[in-house]
């Protein structure tokens, strides 16, 4: 049985796509049990941000088939954990009702950077922040935690780390 994680944000084109890709690749062969990942957004963009695809590729993750999805496209799918990655200051994070636990890993949107050098730095910092959090999350005994303990542990993964700076 797999542990299912959904990563949500507004546009589903950058942070949530990177989070899904990291969870899908690093969670596929997890010794404690397989993690399945998905992502969606409340107002999906037309396409995955090319900087997200390029950043993932730089780390050996092929993500050319990623497509922004709406939360409604998930239907009645249930998830063990939902992680929102919206920036609290500027975006309204979506809520997903069919989750055992939901946490918020607020990160600035790297897609706000439009100059090539700044965008590359922003996406690299976002990747690094999410990779650190995903690795810590995957190290938890996810399958054995009750809903409250899962929520607290998964939120603690974010709260004990620094915000990315670019």
> pLDDT tens for residues 53-76?
999 999 999 987 789 999 999 999
> Could you read off the pLDDT of 131-148 as tens digits, one per residue?
999 999 999 999 999 999
C-beta of residue 109 within 8 angstroms of C-beta of residue 89: no
Active site residue 9: yes
Please pick, among 32, 93, 136, 140, the residue that the annotation labels catalytic: 93
Active site residue 93: yes
Please pick, among 6, 7, 8, 9, the residue that the annotation labels catalytic: 9
Active site residue 36: no
- Tell me the C-alpha distance between 80 and 98, whole Å: 9
- The model's confidence at residue 91, banded by pLDDT at 50, 70 and 90, is low
**Superfamily of domain 3-159 in the CATH hierarchy:** Response regulator (3.40.50.2300)
Please pick, among 83, 86, 125, 150, the residue that the annotation labels catalytic: 86
Is the overall model pTM greater than 0.75, yes or no?
yes
Residue spans per domain, the chain: 3-159
Cα–chain center distance at 67: 14
């Amino acid at each position: 049985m797999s542990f299912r994680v959904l990563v949500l944000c507004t546009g589903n084109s950058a942070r949530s796509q990177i989070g899904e890709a990291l969870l899908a690749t690093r969670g596929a062969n997890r010794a404690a049990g397989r993690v399945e990942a998905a992502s969606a957004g409340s107002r999906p963009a037309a396409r995955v941000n090319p900087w997200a695809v390029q950043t993932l590729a730089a780390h050996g993750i092929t993500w050319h088939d990623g497509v922004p999805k709406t939360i409604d496209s998930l239907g009645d799918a249930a998830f063990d954990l939902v992680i929102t990655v919206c920036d609290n200051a500027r975006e309204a994070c979506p809520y997903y009702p069919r989750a055992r636990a939901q946490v918020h890993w607020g990160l600035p949107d790297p897609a706000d950077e439009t100059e090539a050098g700044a965008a590359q730095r922003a996406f690299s910092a976002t990747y690094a922040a999410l990779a650190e959090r995903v690795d810590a999350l995957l190290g938890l005994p996810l399958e054995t935690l009750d809903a409250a303990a899962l929520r607290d542990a998964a939120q603690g993964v974010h709260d004990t780390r620094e915000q990315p700076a670019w």
